[in-house]
Amino acid sequence: MRKKIVGSSWKMHINTKSEVDTLATEIVEGVKNIHNIDMFLIPSFPLIDHLANILGNSNIAWGAQNMAFVDYGAYTGEVPAPTLAELGCTFIELGHAERRANFNETDHYVNKKVKLCLNYKMTPLVCVGETKAEKDDGVGKVRVKTQVLWTLNGIRFEDVDKIIFAYEPVWAIGQTEGANADYVEDMHQFIRDVIASEVGNDIAQAVRIIYGGSVKLESAFELISKKNIDGLFTGRFALTAKNYIAIAALVSKHVQEKEGN
């Protein structure tokens, strides 16, 4: 059974230690009795250590929004894997649409980062998703398939289910409404099929695929009820503790009712 996930990247919205204090302290308290799902929070690089001190031994993991594609060397301004590992990061977000669009992040570099991340025993959280133009041109699945295949390029079979895919259609990020649950389920099934075609169905069934893009409480239940949607990756909606806690509680309750744990 794939453990469900509720995670949030704070992008560049939570920018000072005192903002982290307010948000994280309340979240820790609000979700302290939830143990049947995985939870994570991802701040900007310089705030990771501060957040880690607050999350400590809680049931919430932390991570980073990006990572350098090499671990040592003359790469001014980059943040390397060994540093993130030492900071206790579990989840490393790679290839987010904003990085692909604004920082020239390509599938090739995402693949290098995935390998490095696995070498340092951290979990790559690889964002894939088609743009509006690709969707309108009928090549959305082609784009997503390319991203998934690039992600898996050169990855050992035994490491594939350590990767988490975040399906984030670019056109659904930062909107009033996200993608509808049927559309997302179809894409998640497609992603799983692509993985299966590379490494077989057993491994593909173990890979977690979460959805991100304008997730809110109203859409959370329908999304999480779908067979291939293994979690929710929240952005703006979960920038208040109340909202993060509400989504985590909803997913946890759903798991409890469905699986009895």
DSSP 200-256: -HHHHHH-EEEEESS--HHHHHHHHTSTT--EEEESGGGGSHHHHHHHHHHHHHHHH
Report the nearest approach of ligand PGA to the CB of residue 72 (Å): 30
Q: Find the part of the chain contacting ligand PGA (CB under 6 A) among 26-34, 99-107, 203-211, 232-240.
A: 232-240
Closer to ligand PGA by Cβ: residue 163 or 238: 238
Q: Looking at 68, 212, 228, 241, which residue binds ligand PGA (CB under 6 A)? A: 212
Burial of 208 (0-12, 13-18, 19+ CB in 10 A): buried
Q: Does position 236 bind ligand PGA by CB under 6 A?
A: yes
Q: Does position 234 bind ligand PGA by CB under 6 A?
A: yes
DSSP code for 173 = T
In the block, which residue shows the tokens 């690889």?
126
Closer to ligand PGA by Cβ: residue 168 or 230: 168
Q: Dihedral of CA 14/84/98/211: which sign?
A: negative
Q: Does position 213 bind ligand PGA by CB under 6 A?
A: yes
Closest CB to ligand PGA belongs to which residue? 235
Q: Does position 66 bind ligand PGA by CB under 6 A?
A: no
- Known active-site residue 96: yes
- Please say whether the beta carbons of 131 and 171 come within 8 A: yes
In the block, which residue shows the tokens 């993130």?
84
DSSP 102-160: HS---HHHHHHHHHHHHHTT-EEEEEE---HHHHHTT-HHHHHHHHHHHHHTT--GGGG
Q: Does position 168 bind ligand PGA by CB under 6 A?
A: yes
Q: Does position 169 bind ligand PGA by CB under 6 A?
A: no
Helix (H, G, I), strand (E, B) or coil at 222: helix
Show the site string, 119-158: x = touches ligand PGA by CB under 6 A, - = not: ----------------------------------------
Q: Does position 12 bind ligand PGA by CB under 6 A?
A: no
Q: Does position 17 bind ligand PGA by CB under 6 A?
A: no
Q: Which residues bind ligand PGA (CB under 6 A)?
A: 9, 168, 173-174, 212-215, 233-237
Q: Active-site residues: which are they?
A: 96, 168
